[in-house]
Amino acid sequence: QVQLVQSGAEVKKPGASVKVSCKASGYTFTGYYMHWVRQAPGQGLEWMGRINPNSGGTNYAQKFQGRVTMTRDTSISTAYMELSRLRSDDTAVYYCARAPLAAAALLFDYWGQGTLVTVSS
């Protein structure tokens, strides 16, 4: 069965970086985009970007350009999202979600369990 398992909760200081992993199983990792979506406490969903695990190509939301890096390791079917220069308003649950390799498909049929990142001094 398809599973996306994310790394555990993180506590970071302002200005630091965080790297969240998302290990995929039960399907062909390179056959689907991996998207990253975050949700601040009590707030809505916010799309951060996506990576094509086959090519490594990425698209990032303008808001995160220059601060976010999405990578993958196809040998272990794992996607990564690194966010740098953390601020307190980056405190959120970060989700990975897979979607078909169609350009505008937001068909997120499987999601990770979420990773809480807390930014606090």
Partner 1 sequence: QSVLTQPPSASGTPGQRVTISCSGSSSNIGSNYVYWYQQLPGTAPKLLIYRNNQRPSGVPDRFSGSKSGTSASLAISGLRSEDEADYYCAAWDDSLSAFGGGTKLTVL
Cβ closest to partner 1, residue 65 vs residue 121? 65
Burial of 47 (0-12, 13-18, 19+ CB in 10 A): middle
The structure tokens listed for 86 are 């953390």
Task: Give the β-pairing of 10-12 and 115-119.
Answer: parallel
- Interacting residues toward partner 1 by CB under 8 A: 35, 37, 44-47, 50, 59, 61-62, 95, 97, 103-109, 111-114
Q: How far is the CB of 75 from partner 1 (least distance, A)?
A: 26
- Taking the complex as a whole, the smallest distance from the CB of residue 80 to partner 1 amounts, in Å, to 19
Nearest approach in angstroms of CB 64 to partner 1 is 10
Residue with Cβ nearer partner 1 (59 or 84): 59
Q: Are 33 and 27 in contact (CB under 8 A)?
A: no
Nearer to partner 1, 11 or 106 (CB): 106
Classified as helix, coil or strand, 62 is helix
Element (H, E) at 116: strand 115-119
Residue 76 or 105 having the CB closest to partner 1 = 105
Q: How far is the CB of 16 from partner 1 (least distance, A)?
A: 25
How many C-beta neighbours within 10 Å does residue 121 have?
7
